[in-house]
Structure 1
Amino acid sequence: MISFSSKAPMGNRFRGRIMDITLTSAVRNNVLTLQMIGDQQSVIQNRLSTGKKVNSALDDPRNFFQASSLNNRANDLGRRLDGMGLAIKTIEAADKGITALTRIAENMAAVSKQAADSNSAAERATLLAQFNELRTQMINVARDSGFNGTNLLAAQNLTVAFNEDATSTMSVTAVSWVAADPAGVPAGADWGDADLAVGAAAIATSATAVNNAIGSLRTQAAAFGTSLTTVKVREEFTKGMMNTLKGGADGLVLADQNEEAANLLALNTRQQLSQQALSLAAQSEQSILRLFG
């Protein structure tokens, strides 16, 4: 560029103006090529630094919004995944409670068998106290089998949502074993009656209730086990679906680092060639000056 900077009064009006400069076709083409290469280098360097070929809707509106939709759905499923994890722990807590209740019930069955074999009213009365204490522990265990505010052994049903809009759910029906008769076992009575026949009948009634309770506990454990398996299957499915969604989104916006690096290397080479060509074009103009030398 050439600018007028004369201090003469008549030249003041030209101060700051730029003369029109005419470039040769060869020089102009090389300058334009260098400008285009610089722009492309900037784009590729941005892709390499961010790892994405689509960073905004301006780069590719279709891929950008489609990837956003896929990522949003994956995030929604991620929140459902957290709920499934809590549901699994809730069912597992109830299952551990049933396991403990079953062991207590088996001890109660052993106590009732020992009482049935005894011919001493005093011994039966002592065993009755042990029986009722074990029954109290059944209630306590059932009360302590909750997780995250939900206890499937205390009549607190559980609902698990599997998809992002909660149209796919599963309900786990709770039982109420924290009331007067845990798992259907009433308090024992009259074991130590002076009439041994009356005591034997009362013991038999308690033994039958305990045996029925053990059956109920095993049945309920199987039901909870089925629910637990279902939730775990849906959890694994959701994890796989999230990976699929995120993989699809990444395929729309992520850049191939190897390809972009190769493109940048090729552009650097082209830039060096264009700079050399520009230098040669300028030299051809300078040769004209030598004619006036």
Structure 2
Amino acid sequence: MSSINTNIAAMTALQALRTTNSDLLSTQNRISTGLRVANASDNAAYWSIATTMRSDRQALSTVSDALGLGSATVDIASKALDTSIKVASDIKAKLVAARSPGVDRAKIQAEIEQLQSSLKDTANGASFSGQNWLAVDASASTERTLVSSFSRDSSGDVSIGTITVDIGATGSMLIDTSNGGAGILDKTRTATTSGDYTVLTLDISTLTDSATDLKDLEDYVAGVDDAISSMTNAATAMGAVKTRINLQKDFADTLMDAIDTGVGQLVDADMNEESTRLQALQVRQQLGIQALSLANQSSQSILSLFR
């Protein structure tokens, strides 16, 4: 039936054209953004998962930055410990040389004092980002905590992992800034006759070749050697911490790459597929326009019946 009120062919063609234009707009949006799921209306489940994963990825990036900062802090402490060990070894060598009879111990002491000052400067200068793990206030907390990981379990609960480093008397502390003498270098030691001393205050300038003075000199050598041993243990511990930090940082970086890949699989558009779809929809759009034009023209034939 032909009707001038209802053009069924034109209505059908218009509906098809509207559908084609809607699909074409969606495809153009995917091509321009590179995403097939750009918002929740595209795919609510995928969008929700991707949003959570992006948030976790950002948290992991912060963890990686924190690990990098921790690695630098440990590296500064390790290098300062290495330097301190070398300087203390030089002091021990000077003390051994002073054991020989007839040497000018006052001149050797002048050299030792310069080395002692170098030890103090090294410990006090081993700071990074406001943290010093060698010159430490023993009266305060001597544990340092580094963020090491971020994870989310199957129930959605978030947990943050940490690495705890003890920089106190059993750690890397060389000088106790609270004057408590808890550091490796300012620890109070006792010589046989001359009394208490520290690696930073020992003085051999007045020692003679007497048996008691030579025994004190040997005590000094033993005390410095013990300090070197403690610093070596501290440097070993710092090396182990640095290795752990680097492993965690590598893992965090790898995990971020995996998250990026996973999010991409969920929401990224396949540009090859979208470009092919775009060309097909453009052809459909042109055909739809022509079909609508033909449908509109069909009603013109009714006029010939009234001529």
Counterpart selection for 1:173 from 166, 174, 177? 166
Is the 2:101–2:209 Cα contact (8 Å) retained in structure 1?
Answer: no
| Structure 1 residue aligned with 2:194 | none
Counterpart selection for 1:233 from 247, 267, 272? 247
TM-score (norm 1): 0.84
TM-superposed CA distance for 1:111, in Å, is 1.1
Q: Which moved more, 1:161-170 or 1:40-49?
A: 161-170
| Structure 1 residue aligned with 2:258 | 244
| Structure 2 residue aligned with 1:267 | 281
- 2:129 matches 1:126: no
TM-superposed CA distance for 1:284, in Å, is 4.0
Aligned partner of residue 168 in structure 1, secondary structure: strand
| Structure 1 residue aligned with 2:221 | 207
TM-superposed CA distance for 1:251, in Å, is 2.2
Is the 1:183–1:217 Cα contact (8 Å) retained in structure 2?
Answer: no
More helix by share: 1
User: How well do the aligned residues superpose, as a CA RMSD in angstroms?
Assistant: 2.3
| Structure 1 residue aligned with 2:13 | 30
Counterpart selection for 1:110 from 90, 93, 118? 93
- 2:119 matches 1:138: yes
TM-superposed CA distance for 1:219, in Å, is 1.6
Residue identity matched to 2:251: F
Q: Which moved more, 1:167-176 or 1:33-42?
A: 167-176
| Structure 2 residue aligned with 1:84 | 67
> Larger relative contact order (C-alpha < 8 A, sep ≥ 6)?
2
Is the 1:84–1:162 Cα contact (8 Å) retained in structure 2?
Answer: yes
| Structure 1 residue aligned with 2:144 | 158
Corresponding pairs, count: 272
TM-superposed CA distance for 1:292, in Å, is 5.5
Gaps of 5+ in 1: 1-19
TM-superposed CA distance for 1:93, in Å, is 0.6
Is the 1:87–1:158 Cα contact (8 Å) retained in structure 2?
Answer: no
Aligned partner of residue 128 in structure 2, secondary structure: coil
| Structure 2 residue aligned with 1:182 | 185
**Identity across matched positions, percent:** 28
C-alpha distance in structure 2 between counterparts of 1:95 and 1:118, whole Å: 38
C-alpha distance in structure 2 between counterparts of 1:210 and 1:132, whole Å: 14
Q: Which moved more, 1:203-212 or 1:225-234?
A: 203-212
| Structure 1 residue aligned with 2:191 | none
How do 1:271-290 and structure 2 match up within 5 A? Answer: 271-290=285-304
TM-superposed CA distance for 1:21, in Å, is 5.7
TM-superposed CA distance for 1:211, in Å, is 1.9
C-alpha distance in structure 2 between counterparts of 1:256 and 1:26, whole Å: 36
Aligned partner of residue 277 in structure 1, secondary structure: helix
More strand by share: 2
Gaps of 5+ in 2: 137-141, 151-157, 188-197
C-alpha distance in structure 2 between counterparts of 1:265 and 1:79, whole Å: 43
Rg (Cα) greater in structure: 1
Q: Which moved more, 1:20-29 or 1:229-238?
A: 20-29
| Structure 2 residue aligned with 1:12 | none
